[in-house]
Structure 1
Amino acid sequence: MKTRIETIESFWVIGYKHVGTTAEIPQIWDKLNATLKTDNIPVDTFYGVCIDFDREGKLHYLAGIQDLAEDSNREKVKIEAGRYIVATVEGGIPGIKPTFQALHERSDIQFRFSPNFEKYIYPVGATENVIEVWMPIE
């Protein structure tokens, strides 16, 4: 697993929120993709933001993009400025959970409380898509 440290400015991700299990997450991505197709919005970078887990163990997750217009059916979450450890996911979507777990197990990193996120990069004309996991660090 390749990792690097990045420092970013804050930004907003706008999209659709899901509260539930990880198995249900594809449904929210389907909703986002349908909106983008209907509104003819070309996108090459998507974000899956892990906002929090509630007391019942349900994941609060948002699938979105940076430049989606706000409306009453969409929510937004702020990605905080600061340092992040970034890991490239190997093995596609099934590799996301093991990548998060491997980063959590590192003892050389001090994490900070803030949403972490997946960044899906689909460059035009590329032969390969890239998935990265971004976790906030001190």
Structure 2
Amino acid sequence: MTDREVLFSGIGEIIGRRHRLSGLDPKSGTFELHDEDRTVRVTLELDLLGEYFNQLNEHDIPGSPQDARDRVRAKHIAMRIEEIFESDIYLSLLEIRLDRSADGRVSLVDRRGSARRSFPPTTTESGYWSPDRPGT
């Protein structure tokens, strides 16, 4: 395996501790991330993954010791993927992938479809709050 494949497998292992994964393929840099309501494809093209990994610096991962930097970078990438996945309240997320921006930097981007769940409505019952505690 190349170093990028090892990095990809490590990211998959980190994410797999908290989420269900399937189709983890270190050669193509893809896997599917699942919860009870959806499946999201994650594509981390290995060349872009290596470049993204190398562009992470002290600004992205402040305070990490030099000898632990690679492990922290892998955790940082896994955390960003989880943040995108977990913040999808409308269930519109279809894919998370690495892509090159207009300025040439590599970043994680998401592709979304139509919302499959509406935002929870506010209750029609009026609430009441008082700073006075009963019995005081």
TM-score by length of 1: 0.29
Q: Which has the higher helix share?
A: 2
Question: Could you say which structure has the greater relative contact order, defined with CA pairs below 8 angstroms and 6 or more residues apart?
Answer: 1
Q: Which has the higher strand share?
A: 1
TM-score by length of 2: 0.29
The structure with more radius of gyration: 2
